Structure 1
Amino acid sequence: MFVIFKDEIVNSNDIRKVIEENSNFMITEDMSLRSKREDIVAFNMSINIDILNEILKDDGYDIGDENKEDLLDEYMDLADTLAFELEEVMPEKSIVKAYSYKYDELANTIKVVFAMAHKELGDLKLKDIIKRLLTLVS
């Protein structure tokens, strides 16, 4: 889908490739059209728990000592952080919002809604869009 990015047109498939090449996220759905806006790139993505475990272990986090609920919170926080870090590889003057919303036991992944827009749209508006997108996937 083509999206208006200030004075440019951006293809959401190009953003998808950037995410897949620069992160461990897998895009499960392009939600840009479902955002009902012409200036938003949005994806439903997931990241494997094994990848998150490796990152936590590298950071010195002892996974074996945590109860399942605390560990799930760590997974969600880490997935959010990794999604926010994608702002570094997004087009110049873009802003990013992401929210981890589900642990998929069957796929062993954390599900994340991700949205990107030009910074002129504003953080509050992008946050509202993330909330709306979450109602579509929950």
Structure 2
Amino acid sequence: MFVVFRDELVDSDEIRKTIEQDTLFKVETDLTKASKREDVMAFKLSIETKKIDDKKRLNWEDDESVDYFFEKAESLTSDFLTMFPRYTVQASRAYKWDELDDTVKLVVVIANIDIKLKKLKLDILPRMLKQVD
């Protein structure tokens, strides 16, 4: 799906391929169409916990361990902005640990800077989180 970033059209499928080739993340689902906006891209991602930190193991019973892995996964998505035209903002939130695959699942949304970061974090990102398991 094509998304408008100011005066540029960006193909979400191309971004999906770039994310999978150039980052540690796997794109589980392209949620761009589900955003129902022409100026927002969204993806459901996963990342193996050993790629986040190969020395530690996520312990679901320990809140500090969960916070560490979730925050680290979210911070790794900040590199996505280099894949987009200038003047874009992004927000992400880890929401689940898949024990079988030992992966952290998260949603990332990217939009034109005309959409305020506050709206992205408080409106669009929570809506996209409702779209995933």
TM-score (norm 1): 0.85
Q: Tell me the CA shift for residue 137 of structure 1.
A: 1.4
Q: How does 1:1-138 map to 2 (within 5 A)?
A: 1-54=1-54, 57=55, 63=56, 68-127=62-121, 128-138=123-133
Indicate if the aligned counterparts of 2:5 and 2:85 stay in contact, CA closer than 8 A: no
**Which structure shows the bigger proportion of residues in helix conformation?**
1
Query: Distance in 2 between the 1:87 and 1:9 partners?
Result: 15
- Could you tell me which runs of 5 or more consecutive residues in structure 2 were left unpaired when the two chains were aligned: none
Q: Tell me the CA shift for residue 17 of structure 1.
A: 2.0
Indicate if the aligned counterparts of 1:4 and 1:38 stay in contact, CA closer than 8 A: yes
Matched AA of 1:16 = R
Larger radius of gyration: 1
Q: Tell me the CA shift for residue 72 of structure 1.
A: 1.7
Matched AA of 1:100 = A
What CA deviation, in whole Å up to 9, does each residue of 1:57-78 have, x standing for no partner? 4xxxxx37x8743212111010
Query: Distance in 1 between the 2:22 and 2:85 partners?
Result: 13
Q: How many residues align?
A: 130
Identity in percent: 35
Matched AA of 1:43 = F
Helix, strand or coil at the partner of 1:18: helix
Tell me whether 94-103 or 116-125 shows the greater mean CA deviation. Answer: 116-125
TM-score (norm 2): 0.88
Q: Tell me the CA shift for residue 46 of structure 1.
A: 0.4
Query: Distance in 2 between the 1:91 and 1:131 partners?
Result: 24
Query: Distance in 2 between the 1:84 and 1:99 partners?
Result: 12
